[in-house]
Every structure is written in structure tokens, then in C-alpha cells.
Amino acid sequence: MTLSSSADNPHVNTVLGPVPPDELGVVAIHETLLSVVPGAEHAFDLAVDRAQVFESVAAKLRDFREQGGGTVVDSSGMFHGRDVPLYEALSRSTGVHVVASTGMGPEGMLGGYFLTPQTNPPTPWPAERFADLFALELTAGMVVPRVERRGTAGLVATAATRSGMTATDESLFRGAAHAAVSTGTPLSIRYGNDAVSDLEVACTAGLPAGRVVVGGLDRADAVASAAALEVARRGAYVGVDHVGAQDDVHVADAERVALVIQLVEAGFGNRVLLSSSATGVAVGHPGNDVPFAAVLATFVPLLRAHGLGDDDVRQILVDNPAGLLSVRPPDRA
């Protein structure tokens, strides 16, 4: 359902309009429906069959729903394949709520418009300009480039360069945080090489840590440095969001379970978010074959086997994301 007076009620912005937070159900907080490396749309050898893309993503969303899922958050921002009309049709067709995001990053994924503008010297964009760009997607609607704006982004998403936050990444973080603060929208960050310090950058624009999810905290380096605990201690949400990943960068699910149990036992069950960073369809990069339902189908049973009860599971899958995604009007943030 949609609300007649969204500004006066707690709500989450989905691609089909505002939805009461308690209607989201189980939320996958960091996924991508369509993931396109910027520029790949021009590749001579990559033909994208839009009907086929729809069918593939719809099948994955239906599977998610059948396994008990309610909402998928597309957290890859405005410049990595986001396709608002497609997402609307997918949500309508499958009954899964879809939350789309604004934002960009890291620096290496930006277009030259932001990095070497037609000015002398070609100074990269400052935070204020990113803030304005992202805020428009939260107030006037998400761009269908050069055609129209539609819907409202439900999240601001950005990321830092893996080897460490660059000056432009910092502008992105500050701009994203400013847009989040001014509109009451949550912020999702992917850290570079220091999760805690990147969180501090995100919070310098006056954004409370409680409005931020730090993603990728199941990366091996984050687990080694116990970053998740410190992030939770500071009040931010902990994104354990590569469930099902089998690669050299992230820990395996067994260690991921241990990480979640550790957080819950330390009293941070209200800060944990789970997701799988699945790519519904990937263009221009390999993507992955992880289902949107990976958390529900394989990871939750592991958590239960390690002693997590229904209340804990519900808190992590339903209540925590609803709290994060609820738009907080700035005057009562």
C-alpha cells in the first residue's frame, strides 16, 4: 500500500512509493538487481536483452519471496546499472518491495564529469555538489538520465577505494552524509581499508552513527581487526553482507556465523544486518550466482544451530532494517 500523507507518517521509500516500515518483512539490505559496470552499456560484445534481464531478476526475487523475503534493497547507487522503471515493474510483478539507492563511489567508478570537469583547473567535485546531486534524488526523484525523474531513493550509498579513502571519496562521503541528514534518509557505506575511520568521515556532516550501515564487515581484514564490534559500539549498523560468498576477500560462512554470534552476545543484536551482495544480473563483470535468499535459505539455519532464537533472528532480519530504512524527517531526527 501507499500512504496518502507520507511526510507525516513513518515510512520507507520504495520504488513504488512510501511503505510503512512494518510492512517490509525480511529485508536483504545490500543487493543489486541489475549491476552494470559504467561504460559496459557501450561495449560492442555485450548485448543486453531487457526482457531476459527482467525474467532473470524476477525469478530471483520470486525465489526470495518464496523463502520468506519481503524487501530487497538495491544498494549500488545511481551509476552502476540502476534502472528505476525496470525495478518498478519487477516489484509490481513479484510482490517484493524494492528500495533503490542514490549515491556513487568509489572514485574509480565515477564519470569524468565529477573528476575532471570542464573548468581550469579540472578540480574534482567538492562534497556540497555531491550533496545537491544526491539530495535531488531524495526530493525530486531518481534520474532516468536525460529523460525524467521518478520515485524516491530510499537510501544513500557510497564506497571508499579499497586501498584507502581518496580525497574524492571523502567528498563523496561528506556529500552523501549531508544529503542523508537533510532528508532523513539512511546512509550505506562500503569502507576502503579502515571501516572505523571511514565511519567517522561519514558522521562528520552531523549524521548520527545510528543512521549509517557500514557494509563489508565480513571482509577478512575487518574480521581480523574486529572492526564490526567497534562500528557497533559507535552506534552504526554492522553490515555482514556477503553471506554465501566464496572468495579470497571475505571470510566463509562459518566465520560469519561466529561474527554474528559474537555481536549478539556483546549486546549488539540490534545493530546487525545480513545480506548477500547478490547480483541479479551483472553486465561487464562476472557478478555472482548467490541467490537473494541466501541469508534465509542457508545462513539463518546456521545461526539457529548456534543458538540464536526467534527473537534475535527477527530483530536482525526485520526490525533492524526497518529501523534503518525508516525516513526520519530532519526536524525529528
122 is a site residue for other proteins (CB under 8 A): yes
- Whole-angstrom distance, CA of residue 71 vs CA of residue 74: 10
Q: Scan residues 270-299 and list those touching other proteins (CB under 8 A).
A: 284
Residue 195 burial (CB < 10 Å; 0-12/13-18/19+)?
buried
Longest Cα–Cα distance in the chain: 61
Stretch that binds other proteins, among 16-24, 113-121, 222-230, 323-331 (CB under 8 A): 113-121
Q: Residue 125: which H helix or E strand, with range?
A: none
**What x/- string results for residues 132 through 151 when contact with other proteins is judged by CB under 8 A?**
-x--x---x--x-xx--x--
| Cα 185 to Cα 234: distance, rounded to the nearest angstrom | 19
Minimum CB distance to other proteins, residue 100 (Å): 14
- Judged by beta carbon, residue 1 or residue 145, the one nearer other proteins is 145
Q: What is the DSSP letter of 41?
A: G
Q: How many residues bind other proteins (CB under 8 A)?
A: 33
* Nearest distance from C-beta of residue 287 to other proteins, angstroms: 14
Q: Hey, which residues does 144 pair with through a beta bridge?
A: 148
Which of 3, 16, 89, 115 touches other proteins by CB under 8 A?
115
Convert residues 24-43 into a mask of x (bound to other proteins by CB under 8 A) and - (unbound).
-------------xxxx-xx
Query: What spatial distance separates the first Cα and last Cα of the chain, rounded to whole Å?
Result: 25
Contacts of 56 by beta carbon, 8 Å cutoff, 6+ apart: 280, 281
In the set 1, 4, 8, 44, which binds other proteins (CB under 8 A)? 44
Residues making contact with other proteins (CB under 8 A): 37-40, 42-45, 78-79, 108-122, 133, 136, 140, 143, 145-146, 149, 284
